[in-house]
Structure 1
Amino acid sequence: MQAVRLLPRFPPLISTFNAPSHRLAALTLSNQADQNRSYRRHTFDTLNHSTGQGRSVRVTAVNPTQAYFKLRDIIQESRLNELVRSQERFERNTDKRRRKRKEKEWRTYMRHVKKQVQIAFDLQNRTKIEKETYKDI
């Protein structure tokens, strides 16, 4: 059984004891903004992991696919694709709402398709099992 390491939902607050008093308000506001993120911020543990640093992943001859999947997970967690797409060009609010709505509808549709495919495979497996079980009848 593998050990599962639970990461905190929000990064720990930065210590403000050594900060000048005029910077305390700015630090507090930035910490609150960090805690209100909708994605998991890369904490110190994920920035300095054994396979690389930051959004870089060390690739060796032994584990190229493992490195690829690790990088893919890091990119998905930080929502890098969405950030790049949003900064590509200016998007009016109406267009943004329309795009978000279509993305949501597409995700809903794909969930439905996945469910139907799973039902079809379950039915196919059940048919195979029944044929094997009752072939002598």
Structure 2
Amino acid sequence: MGAWGRKVFQNDTALDLVDEVLDGTFDLDEFRKDFRREEDEGYLDASQGAALLALGALVRIARNEDHADLDVLLEHAEAEEVDLTDFIDQFSDEDIQTLRELIGVVIREPSSSELYELWEESGELEQWLEYSRQCLP
């Protein structure tokens, strides 16, 4: 998959989102607006899918749930720990459920997710799916 790796923070879209979260500029309301504007009849393009997976991983990490990319996040932040309180405080239970549903779309099938389709074509779909399921909050 070229510049992409199976891990959730191994692409530019995810790292841009991480940077917003780390520098305190991430705004869930703005993310919703941008996402709705780009959404196309239930089909999620690769960048939307990557952003949703990254968001799910960040929510899990912020809630102190296990996630394999915590070390990648800390390395990217060049820190031993990160405070994600302001980030997670933006999410209601309904937001978490919606995020869970959208990540489900990303990892469900190629007709609804370009990212799924690309990983299927790469021959590494099962490995990617196993890893991506860990992003469900």
Aligning the two structures, in what range does the TM-score lie when normalised by the shorter sequence? under 0.3
What's the TM-score, normalizing by structure 2?
0.25
What's the TM-score, normalizing by structure 1?
0.25
Larger Rg: 1
